[in-house]
Structure 1
Amino acid sequence: MTAHDERDSTLRWGVLGATSYIATHLIPAITATHGCALTAVASRPERAAAAAELGRAHGATVHPDYRALIADPAVDAVYIPLPNTQHVDWTLRALEAGKHVLVEKPMAMDEEDCARIEKAAEAASRTVMEAFMYRFHPQQRRAAEILASGKIGELRGVRASFAFRIESGSGNIRLDAALGGGATWDVGCYAVDVPLFFFGRAPGQVSAHFSSRPGLAVDTSAVATMDFGQGHFAVVDYSIDYGPRAAYELQGTRGTLMVRNAWAMDGEDGVVTVLTEDGVHEETVPSANHYQLQVEAFAAAVRDGAPAPVPLADSRRTARVGRAFVASAAAGGAAVVTSAQETEGR
């Protein structure tokens, strides 16, 4: 990707949506980041009043629809938090309009669409990144440092559990199958990302078991195993039936590392616990706003023309494994994870 080439150094953001999540987490992260500004907001018609309020509060232009925002020459980068089925289309539209894109996970629900996005980003010389905000919290970096130090030995297993409850009848888009809802393509993305990130490759096969809340057409809870070969494994569970929970463990040959709150918010300290034969060692990681750290890292990559901090290869891998989970659950057995588009390993 080429460096940010606008007339000044300010990265001007447009946001597609005006939900409370956007107003509470992402817009404050943008406005608090040096060299970033909220320039435009657009929403669906039923959220027009909320969009107008956000525009007034931040001095941003309020566009009547998403197309108008993407066509706005005053917008350099677009944040896309729309329903899952709309991520690919609006990411491609934004890239074709010459915008950089931060898109919520999942970037796409199959690897082929991730490849289409990558091709479009290369053609437009623009940066696109999947928004895995938890990766940017210092406790995740500290966990990676401890693993690399050899303190717990060779990584052999990962356990990850991510969950939060969504009430039936709430109107939440995650309960709507037509919008790509369900636990797997939402909270499951985090559970899947943890072992993929720490092993640095995709598993050879997976075995997933889904359950659905009565009256819903989407999966609402899942348990899955991921076989990385030669005695390397992961066990994950995720749900929108129960929670909140966002914890993971890295099992090494000489010890265990535990992160008990991977979603630690601003004001909450992170805690990393290491158990070895020498005893238990617990480290407190000072609180941090992982949403703002994500925006800062994305903006720096745009300005420097550097690769996105969450590489597109990782997004392809996440989509591929998620699709294998779906296939395994449907078939009631293991599913092989294959791809002709990626050479595994870091």
Structure 2
Amino acid sequence: MASVYGIIKRTYLGMRPPIVSPLPDSKPLKFGILGAAAIAPNALLTPAKSHPEAVVVAVAARSKAKGDEYARKHGIAKVYGGPAGYQEMLDDPEIDVIYNPLPNGLHFEWTMKALAAGKHVLLEKPAANTAEEIRQMFELAERKNLVLLEAFHYRFHPAVQRVKAIIDSGELGPLKSMQTSLAFHLGYFKPGDIRFDYSLGGGSLMDMGCYNISAMRFFAGGDPTSVLSATHELDSPQVDRQTSATLVFPGGVTGTTFCDFGMPPYLKLIPRLPRLGAVIECEGGRIAMMNYVMPTMYHSITVTPQKGKRRVEKVYTFPTLGEPWWSTYRYQLEAFVNKVKGRTPQAWIAKEDSIANLAAIESIYAKTGLGSRPKSGFIPTL
């Protein structure tokens, strides 16, 4: 009963957080959203309500009418609409940060333009369609002394960091293998979803698999050295509905990933439950984490030593940071604001991390024969 109450309370407060006032001695960062994106309420708008140093002041949309409706719904003061709307928002001197949740294939162009306009960027994952494009974005950010963060929000949550701490403690001995899964039942994503559009960087490995690869690299503390095997099932030519792959990490550690946009029902009738887990095998035991992607709602970390008592941990806050209802996005926003303000964030996704993650994805696509997603046609002038 306590667990059910906790889920309800965390969900309620996460969706309706206490609204805080700006700090008297720190000017809040003003955010603008590129596109009237469905992810933005959870990823930025709601978390910003409980952060005294973050406020969303603008949205840009290709359709002025859509932008106006989105702004009314979410209480956003400024709307930039029409063919020039994106650039007009980037040119607004009032805006400090651009949140870029556009389709994958548009990340490179509009992040480069935002950085060129002198804006910090919070960028949805995967950061771009190719590792080389990611490298170029970070190099521009560094030249202009701007903050660029690929929004792997799960990495900022204390539960995921607790799993990493258990691995690094040596309690269960050296790491042997890892498994990460992220998959939903058939019909979860509707036909026509941009995730199925190859020209925009579609594919389950890009969308769901990027989390799985990131998590394995985080837990291993290193990058894969080779792709042992990789298979896929197609939704359309070059767009994987499902991908499975096994990677080799330093020391002979293996990592297996599974992602699926639409797992077929059992017996063609019974919908399958989502797969949102990570399993880490060590020489002296196992760690199984349920729901590593969105642990605020509910998660469990089951530690099973070969010698010793099995235990289950649940972690929702750091010793000196957070509230149980803080979402992964709220922890991420805390880190992002701290970085821009010149403070040390509790956790961070560095340039090398983002580049290496997409490089691993590209190596899997090479193994399956599908190849990397299309490179952007945008040519920076800087």
Matched AA of 1:53? E
Quick check: 1:261 aligned with 2:291? yes
State the alpha-carbon separation in 2 of the partners of residues 99 and 144 from structure 1: 33
SS of the residue aligned with 2:178?
strand
Q: Which of 211, 214, 223 pairs up with 2:244?
A: 223
State the alpha-carbon separation in 2 of the partners of residues 331 and 96 from structure 1: 33
- Give yes or no for contact 1:158–1:248 (8 Å, CA) kept in 2: yes
Quick check: 1:284 aligned with 2:314? yes
SS of the residue aligned with 1:237?
strand
State the alpha-carbon separation in 2 of the partners of residues 77 and 229 from structure 1: 37
Q: Which of 107, 126, 145 pairs up with 1:87?
A: 107
Using structure 1 for the length normalisation, give the TM-score. 0.87
Quick check: 1:316 aligned with 2:355? yes
Q: 1:213-257 CA distances to partner (integer Å, 9 max, x unpaired)?
A: 3x5651010110001143211011111022522110111110111
SS of the residue aligned with 1:101?
strand
Once the two structures are TM-superposed, the CA of residue 274 in structure 1 deviates from its matched residue by 0.1
The percentage of aligned residue pairs carrying the same residue is: 32
State the alpha-carbon separation in 1 of the partners of residues 295 and 159 from structure 2: 11
Q: 1:40-67 CA distances to partner (integer Å, 9 max, x unpaired)?
A: 101222xx44432342342421111211
Matched AA of 1:14? G
> 1:184 aligns to what?
205
SS of the residue aligned with 1:152?
coil
Matched AA of 1:281? R
Matched AA of 1:208? A
Quick check: 1:241 aligned with 2:259? no
**1:50-61 to 2 correspondence within 5 Å?**
50-56=66-72, 57-61=74-78
> 1:342 aligns to what?
none
**1:119-268 to 2 correspondence within 5 Å?**
119-165=139-185, 167=187, 170-206=191-227, 207-213=229-235, 215=236, 217-242=238-263, 244-264=274-294, 266=296, 268=297
Q: 1:295-343 CA distances to partner (integer Å, 9 max, x unpaired)?
A: 11111111016588111110000111011011000089xxxxxxxxxxx
SS of the residue aligned with 2:222?
coil
Once the two structures are TM-superposed, the CA of residue 30 in structure 1 deviates from its matched residue by 2.2
Residues matched between the structures, number:
322
State the alpha-carbon separation in 2 of the partners of residues 54 and 233 from structure 1: 45
Distance 1:16 1:270, change over 3 A: same
State the alpha-carbon separation in 1 of the partners of residues 167 and 196 from structure 2: 37
Distance 1:324 1:217, change over 3 A: closer
Using structure 2 for the length normalisation, give the TM-score. 0.79
State the alpha-carbon separation in 2 of the partners of residues 256 and 298 from structure 1: 33
> 1:297 aligns to what?
335
Moved over 4 A (4+): 305-308
- Give yes or no for contact 2:32–2:99 (8 Å, CA) kept in 1: yes
- Give yes or no for contact 2:213–2:257 (8 Å, CA) kept in 1: yes
State the alpha-carbon separation in 2 of the partners of residues 203 and 145 from structure 1: 20
> 2:14 aligns to what?
none
- Give yes or no for contact 1:221–1:238 (8 Å, CA) kept in 2: yes
Quick check: 1:39 aligned with 2:68? no
State the alpha-carbon separation in 1 of the partners of residues 26 and 257 from structure 2: 45
- Give yes or no for contact 1:246–1:260 (8 Å, CA) kept in 2: yes
State the alpha-carbon separation in 2 of the partners of residues 34 and 282 from structure 1: 34
- Give yes or no for contact 2:33–2:58 (8 Å, CA) kept in 1: yes
SS of the residue aligned with 2:206?
coil
Quick check: 1:22 aligned with 2:40? yes
Once the two structures are TM-superposed, the CA of residue 191 in structure 1 deviates from its matched residue by 0.9
State the alpha-carbon separation in 2 of the partners of residues 78 and 68 from structure 1: 12
- Give yes or no for contact 1:176–1:217 (8 Å, CA) kept in 2: no
Matched AA of 1:292? R
> 1:338 aligns to what?
none
Matched AA of 1:315? S
Distance 1:166 1:78, change over 3 A: farther
> 2:8 aligns to what?
none
Q: Is there any run of 5+ residues in structure 2 with no aligned partner, and where?
A: 1-24, 264-272, 317-323, 372-382
Quick check: 1:97 aligned with 2:117? yes
Question: Which moved further from structure 2: 240-249 or 191-200?
Answer: 240-249
Q: 1:236-291 CA distances to partner (integer Å, 9 max, x unpaired)?
A: 1111022522110111110111111113354x233111001213110122343111
State the alpha-carbon separation in 2 of the partners of residues 234 and 82 from structure 1: 30
Q: Which of 9, 22, 31 pairs up with 1:13?
A: 31
Q: Is there any run of 5+ residues in structure 1 with no aligned partner, and where?
A: 1-6, 333-346
SS of the residue aligned with 1:279?
coil
